[in-house]
Structure 1
Amino acid sequence: MTPETLDLLRKVDTPTVCNAIEVIEGKRGFDRYTRGTILSSDPTASALVGRARTAKIAAIAPPEEVTEVIKARRMDYYRHMATGPRPALAVVEDLDGENAVGAFWGEINTNVHKGFGLAGTLTNGVMRDLGDLPEGYPVLAGSIGPSHAFVHVREIGTPVTVFGLTIADGDLVHADRHGALVIPEPYIASIAAAIAKMQKTEAIVLDAARAPGFDFETFEAAWSAFEKART
């Protein structure tokens, strides 16, 4: 991925990238995206773009393994997050699912991950300390809560599933307040051209709709031109 493509991907929203992938594929049906509503700690933030650094956590019940194992795995987790390709984001599955109560993503952990050079976090779990999270490190989460409960790391670097989307460690992820998707590797080289084509064809309808005197006849002509341009 070139620096120019990375810069573009950070500037556009996730629905735009989703549509651009359909331009590449020449049809509807791309489905490597999240389902449901995601909460954003900073809805005005730029999109998260980067390679996934994955892990799984749980928090409802105390860990059953010995303390030394839990502590060692936690350090292995932070080592994993601190290393690997960049740009990157933390993608963490909370195994407690809809019953998640442990806010792994508060003031301390977000500052640590930002310090590691990560762009942000995508999780189906819980976030807290909303007024104290570091600027420039958005968290996209499943819920907000006050407690960390018994949060502990279960797995590191394995495939995770968040909001119905399975993401492998190293997948290229694009995410914002709308949700997240995985950009297939073969599409990286052509995604910028696909975004440009999509925006150009959408402008046919948008420019007409925003112009004075817009009516059905104008719409019909613009829509016809739009359909021809996108085929």
Structure 2
Amino acid sequence: MTPSLLTLLRKVDTPTVCNAIEVAQGKRGFSNFTRGTMLCSAPDEPAIVGYARTAKIAALQPPSEAPDVIKARRMAYYKYMAEAPGPSVAVIEDVDYPDCIGAYWGEINTTIHKGFGMAGALTNGVMRDLGDMPEGFPVVAGSIGPSHGFVHVREVDTPVEVFGMAVHPGDLIHADRHGAVVVPAEVIDQLQAAIEKLLQTERLVLDPASQPGFDFAAFEAAWAAFEKART
């Protein structure tokens, strides 16, 4: 990912990226995106963009493993996140879903991960401490709740699933208040051009529709130009 692509991705929303992937692929049908409504801790901040660092957690029940095993895995998790090459995104599957109760993402954990230089977090689990999270580290989560429950790390650096979206370690993630997508590796080199083409194509309808006197005839002409240009 080039610096210019990273800058562009942080400026555009996730629906734009989702559409641009299809432009790059030359067809419709891209499907590796989240399903359902997710919540964003900072909907007005730039999109979360980075390569996935993955883990699984649970919180409904106390861990059954020995405390020293749990502690060692927790420290291994933080080391794994701290050593992530940037830009990076924490992608955490709560295996209790859809009955998640433990807020892994609150003031302390978001501050720690931001300190590691990470761009944000994506989870099907719970977040809390809204208003106390640091700026510049958005969380896109499945729910909001008050408790951490018995939250503990189950797995590190493993494939995960978040709201129907499959994520492997190292996948390029784009996420915002709409949800998230995994950018296919084979389109990354084409993505900047695809986004720019998409934005230009949308103007073929948006500009005429914003002008006084826009009527069906103007719409018909604009839509014909739009359909000719789009995927």
TM-score range, shorter chain: over 0.9
The TM-score with structure 1 as length reference comes to 0.99
* Percent of aligned pairs sharing the same letter: 67
Deviation per CA, 1:102-136, whole angstroms, max 9, x where unpaired? 01111111100000000010000000110210011
> Residue 98 of structure 2: SS of its match in structure 1?
helix
Q: Aligned pair 1:17/2:17, yes or no?
A: yes
Provide the residue aligned with 1:56 in structure 2: 56
Provide the residue aligned with 2:211 in structure 1: 211
- State the shift of 1:211 in Å: 0.6
Provide the residue aligned with 2:95 in structure 1: 95
- State the shift of 1:28 in Å: 1.1
- State the shift of 1:69 in Å: 0.3
- State the shift of 1:230 in Å: 2.0
> What is the rounded CA distance, in whole Å, between the counterparts of 1:117 and 1:25 in structure 2?
32
Structure 1's consecutive aligned runs of 4 or more residues displaced over 3 angstroms after TM superposition are none
Provide the residue aligned with 2:152 in structure 1: 152
Q: Which amino acid aligns with 1:38?
A: M
> Residue 186 of structure 1: SS of its match in structure 2?
helix
Question: Which sections of structure 2, spanning at least 5 residues, go unmatched?
Answer: none
- State the shift of 1:84 in Å: 2.3
The TM-score with structure 2 as length reference comes to 0.99
Provide the residue aligned with 1:77 in structure 2: 77
Q: Which amino acid aligns with 1:133?
A: M
> What is the rounded CA distance, in whole Å, between the counterparts of 1:165 and 1:225 in structure 2?
34
Query: Counterparts in 2 of 1:166-177, with a 5 A limit?
Result: 166-177=166-177
- State the shift of 1:227 in Å: 1.1
> What is the rounded CA distance, in whole Å, between the counterparts of 2:226 and 2:73 in structure 1?
54
Would the aligned equivalents of 2:127 and 2:144 in 1 still touch at CA under 8 Å? yes
Q: Which amino acid aligns with 2:5?
A: T
Provide the residue aligned with 2:188 in structure 1: 188
- State the shift of 1:173 in Å: 0.5
Provide the residue aligned with 2:227 in structure 1: 227
Q: Which amino acid aligns with 1:117?
A: G
- State the shift of 1:171 in Å: 0.4
> What is the RMSD of the two structures over their aligned residues, measured on CA atoms?
0.7
Provide the residue aligned with 2:29 in structure 1: 29
Deviation per CA, 1:140-172, whole angstroms, max 9, x where unpaired? 000111111100000000000000001001100
> Residue 33 of structure 2: SS of its match in structure 1?
coil
> Residue 99 of structure 1: SS of its match in structure 2?
coil
Question: Which sections of structure 1, spanning at least 5 residues, go unmatched?
Answer: none
Q: Which amino acid aligns with 2:32?
A: R
